[in-house]
Amino acid sequence: MSESEAQAQRVVVGVDTHADTHHVAVVTEYGKPLGDRAFPTTSAGYWEVVGFITGFGVVLQIGMEGTGTYGAALTRVLQGEGILVIEVNRPDRQQRRLKGKTDPLDAYRAAQSVITGRSTALPKAKDGPVECLRVLRALRVSAVKARSAAINQIKGLLVSAPETLRSKYQGMTTAVMIGTMARSRPSGHLASIHRC
């Protein structure tokens, strides 16, 4: 394709994202396949994607699976270049069984999904106050789960502990028991189970 033809042509891109590679497919604005290729999920790989897709012409939009997970970094790079990225849902299992499942097929399907208008959602920005709250909430949920697991483990160990140790904490509420344990210090021989 000559340079003048590439500049005049308008293309749509589909991306099938994975942890180690992204498969990119380029089609004309009418859906005619032009080419596809796999790229590594590295900074250099993302810039190779930009060079690859812009080599076919003016990029109208990109349909990408997983813009918030595996495709998040590539999405940021493409949006930084002023390219419109559209979130594409992964094909359902029935469609994948009927039509096959390969990375190139999924990439071409992502492009076709944008052309037909089935996919129109813009990816979340992943910045600002909403993202900060999401991160804080995820950390809180994780901390609460870890706390519950630790309390359950302590209570499980107390069930089979020697009577002297078990009776020391018997009848205490969880909060009082944890506070008492946090303040207590071991005594006696290091190998003794009675030192707690």
pLDDT in tens, the chain (196 residues): 556 555 579 999 999 999 999 999 999 999 899 999 999 999 999 999 999 999 999 999 999 988 878 888 898 899 889 999 988 887 655 555 566 678 888 899 989 888 888 776 667 666 677 778 888 899 999 999 999 999 999 999 988 888 888 888 888 999 999 998 888 887 777 666 655 5
Residue 103 has what pLDDT?
85
Residue 172 to residue 170: CA distance in whole angstroms: 6
Whole-model pTM over 0.85: no
Closest to 66 measured CA to CA, from 107, 10, 117:
107
Residue 27 has what pLDDT?
94
Closest to 11 measured CA to CA, from 1, 20, 21:
1
Residue 68 has what pLDDT?
78
Angle formed at CA 20 by CA 133 and CA 32, multiple of 5 degrees: 100
Residue 22 has what pLDDT?
93
In this structure, the number of other CB atoms found within 10 A of the CB of residue 17 comes to 26
Residue 126 has what pLDDT?
65
Please give the helix or strand (H or E) that residue 156 lies within, else none. helix 128-159
